[in-house]
Amino acid sequence: MRLEKYNHPVLFYGGAVGFPWVCWFIAAWLSRQWEGNPSLMAWGSVLGLLGLCGPAGVAMALILPDREMRRELFSQIFNFKGIRPVFRVFSFAIFPVNIVSAQAISLLFGYSASQFKIVEHISFSAGVPSIGIIPAWFLIAAAPVLEEFGWHTYGIHCVRRRFNLLLTCVIFGTIWGVWHAPLGFIKGTYQEAVAETGIIYSINFMASLVPYLIMDNWLYYKTNRNMLLEILFHFEANFFNEIFKTRPDSKIIQTVLLLIFSIIIICKEKKFFFSRSHEEIFR
């Protein structure tokens, strides 16, 4: 794989962030008007879904015309060679362990064990808009696919070609947080619920993206950029943050645990995260 091919960061991120922002800010306005108006609700729902498709659409427009990049994309989807069992276990286990551990620690601070109860109805998913007529269960399943085929087929590579992996995670986490921002204005989204809870919880959501991406990209490059495991990892992050009645302060504990684990990974993989060379992660 040649990173030099991924050489349009301004074009990619301009489209991947700008297009969803336009869709989502219009959807935010419609969401304040659509009560009792099925037509407005339908248009807002369509715009919400189009915004979610934005990064993947831009990535495919840049990748598919190029034969070598197209071959790389297909190899990412179907290549399971050389993936150690530990990474498969990690992709399945980290988020259920993380959220349950955070809730268990919160009990020491007087929070209720009712957090461990499974919710009766999924109303929204972590970081995914539940807009109008679009069911939350559909978005929980679709969002990881749509996002990963944008961010991890083109977006991450065009940052990595200029910076080491740790700085790439920080830069990408910041951009990804900015991408999510308009969702906070749309009725029914996770971000709106977080914003109404308090500014500290909005900051926590933004801060959690960096340790998440450190683990995420560690898994991604250690599994030869396998997209199916990447989608599974993203899906579990959304799903296990949704199914429990987790208290907002437990989400802060969850972020701290993610940060601790990501620091451990960085300390054990210093060359992997700090080297500017691509040989360590592109084989």
Domain coverage including residue 62: 3-274
In a domain, 281, yes or no: no
Dihedral (CA of 99, 259, 208, 54) sign: negative
Query: 262 CB contacts (<8 Å, ≥6 apart)?
Result: 210, 211, 214, 215
DSSP 156-203: HHHHHTTS-HHHHHHHHHHHHHHHHGGGGGSTT-HHHHHHHH-HHHHH
Q: What angle do CA 154, 151, 74 make, to 5 degrees?
A: 55
* Predicted confidence (pLDDT) at residue 225 exceeds the cutoff of 80: yes
| pTM exceeds cut of 0.85 | yes
The total number of structural domains in the chain stands at 1
Q: Which two tokens stand for residue 268?
A: 């054990």
How confident is the model over 63-95, as pLDDT tens digits?
A: 999 999 998 888 888 777 767 888 888 888 899
> How large is the average pLDDT for residues 175-189?
87
In a domain, 42, yes or no: yes
* Residue 101 Cα distances to 110, 113, 150, angstroms: 15, 12, 31
> How large is the average pLDDT for residues 210-232?
91
Q: How far apart are CA 179 and CA 161, in angstroms?
A: 21
In a domain, 283, yes or no: no
Res 131: pLDDT: 53
Query: 46 CB contacts (<8 Å, ≥6 apart)?
Result: none
In a domain, 67, yes or no: yes
Query: Among 123-132, 161-170, 195-204, where is mean pLDDT lowest?
Result: 123-132
Give percent above pLDDT 90 in the chain: 50
What letter would DSSP give residue 244?
B
Burial of 231: CB neighbours in 10 Å, binned 0-12, 13-18, 19+: buried
Query: 178 CB contacts (<8 Å, ≥6 apart)?
Result: 17
- What are 110's strand-pairing partners? none
In this predicted model, which residue has the larger pLDDT, 123 or 116? 116
In a domain, 60, yes or no: yes
In a domain, 249, yes or no: yes
* Predicted confidence (pLDDT) at residue 98 exceeds the cutoff of 60: yes
In a domain, 282, yes or no: no
In a domain, 279, yes or no: no
Q: How far apart are CA 140 and CA 142, in angstroms?
A: 6
Q: Are 59 and 154 in contact (CB under 8 A)?
A: yes
Q: How far apart are CA 232 and CA 91, in angstroms?
A: 7
Q: How far apart are CA 62 and CA 49, in angstroms?
A: 21
Q: What is the mean pLDDT of the chain?
A: 86
